[in-house]
């Protein structure tokens, strides 16, 4: 009898990660539609995001600048789909630095570096902190954030 095929895309158990390991996601282009939907959904009715005349005449930057929260959300989608599918249990917090603006039409990707891995006090779960560097299509760093996550443990691993 053939065994079940291995499911592609499953995230890492915390025991499979080592500080210093690095990963890179595919890129994703942030569209004007993404920007508009996010601003509307989040209720970010700031004129910078909702009034083209104001933005053209008064904004420090030209173009459809994206809220940092949108860039973070898309970066998290890229990172989580690649590393935590079925194994991410909880998002516990983050530190974030925005380095430069992102505009509708920019493509971002995320480099993930494992910074800390340690067992949690209950069961086989573990805490994982990464340093996530978000770059635009020119390779420029636009954001760095450091999430802390509770991750599932490998059910086949022997506990010490």
- At 33 the pLDDT is 97
- Average pLDDT for 79-107: 96
Q: Is residue 79 part of a domain?
A: yes
Q: Is residue 112 part of a domain?
A: yes
Q: pLDDT: is 14 or 10 the higher one?
A: 14
Q: pLDDT: is 88 or 7 the higher one?
A: 88
Q: Is residue 2 part of a domain?
A: no
- Average pLDDT for 22-51: 95
Q: Could you tell me the pLDDT band of residue 85, with boundaries at 50, 70 and 90?
A: very high
- At 69 the pLDDT is 97
Q: Is residue 38 part of a domain?
A: yes
Q: Is residue 6 part of a domain?
A: no
Q: Is residue 7 part of a domain?
A: no
Question: Which CATH number is 130's domain given?
Answer: 3.10.129.10
Q: Could you tell me the pLDDT band of residue 6, with boundaries at 50, 70 and 90?
A: low
- Average pLDDT for 49-69: 91
Q: Is residue 8 part of a domain?
A: no
- At 111 the pLDDT is 96
85-89 contacts at long range (C-beta below 8 A, 24 or more positions apart):
85/9, 85/10, 85/11, 86/10, 86/11, 86/152, 87/10, 87/11, 87/12, 87/13, 87/14, 87/151, 87/152, 88/11, 88/149, 88/150, 88/151, 88/152, 89/125, 89/149, 89/150, 89/151, 89/152
Looking at the structure of the chain, the number of domains it has is 1
Domain that holds residue 92: 17-151
Q: Is residue 9 part of a domain?
A: no
Residue spans of alpha helices (H) in the chain: 32-42, 47-50, 52-58, 68-83
Q: Could you tell me the pLDDT band of residue 3, with boundaries at 50, 70 and 90?
A: confident
């Amino acid at each position: 009898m053939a065994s079940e095929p291995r499911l592609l895309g499953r995230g890492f158990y915390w025991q499979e990660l080592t500080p210093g390991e690095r990963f890179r996601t595919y890129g994703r282009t942030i569209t004007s539609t993404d920007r508009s939907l996010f601003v509307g959904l989040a209720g970010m009715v700031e004129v910078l995001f909702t009034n083209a005349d104001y933005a053209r005449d008064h904004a420090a930057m030209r173009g459809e600048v994206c809220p940092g929260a949108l860039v973070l959300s898309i970066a998290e989608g890229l990172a989580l789909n690649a590393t935590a599918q079925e194994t991410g249990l909880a998002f516990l917090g983050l530190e974030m630095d925005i380095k430069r603006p992102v505009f509708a039409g920019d493509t971002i990707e995320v480099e993930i570096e494992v910074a800390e891995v340690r067992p949690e006090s209950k069961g086989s779960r573990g805490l994982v902190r990464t340093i996530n560097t978000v770059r635009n299509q020119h390779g420029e760093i636009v954001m760095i954030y450091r999430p802390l996550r509770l991750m599932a443990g490998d059910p086949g691993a022997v506990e010490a």
